[in-house]
C-alpha cells in the first residue's frame, strides 16, 4: 500500500469527532504530504477498496489503520 494512503488511513483513524474526511485531507495537504486533488483521489481509492464509508472507516479500514499505526510505532 502506498505510504500516502497509509497516512491518510491513519489520519482518518485519528480524526476528531467533528472533523470531516475533507478536513483530514486538507490538514494533510497543509503538511505538504499531497495536494488536495491527490488526497481526494486517495480517498476515492479507499472507498473503492471498502476501507472508508461516507464519513468513517469501515471495519476493514479500521483494522488496516491500526496495522499502519503499529508499523509506524516500530
2-51 per-position pLDDT tens digit: 999 999 999 999 999 999 999 999 999 999 999 999 999 999 999 999 99
Q: How much is the pLDDT for 1?
A: 84
> Which comes out higher in pLDDT, residue 74 or 61?
61
Question: Residue 15 in contact with residue 24, Cβ under 8 Å?
Answer: yes
Number of structural domains the chain divides into: 1
Q: How much is the pLDDT for 69?
A: 95
Boundaries of domain holding 13: 3-73
Identify the helix (H) or strand (E) that includes residue 26: helix 21-30
Q: How much is the pLDDT for 59?
A: 96
Amino acid at each position: 500500500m502506498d505510504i500516502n494512503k497509509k497516512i491518510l488511513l491513519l489520519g482518518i483513524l485519528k480524526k476528531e469527532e467533528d472533523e470531516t474526511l475533507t478536513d483530514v485531507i486538507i490538514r494533510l495537504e497543509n503538511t505538504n504530504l499531497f495536494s488536495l486533488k491527490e488526497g481526494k483521489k486517495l480517498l476515492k481509492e479507499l472507498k473503492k477498496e471498502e476501507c472508508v464509508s461516507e464519513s468513517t472507516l469501515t471495519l476493514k479500514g479500521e483494522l488496516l489503520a491500526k496495522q499502519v499505526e503499529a508499523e509506524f510505532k516500530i
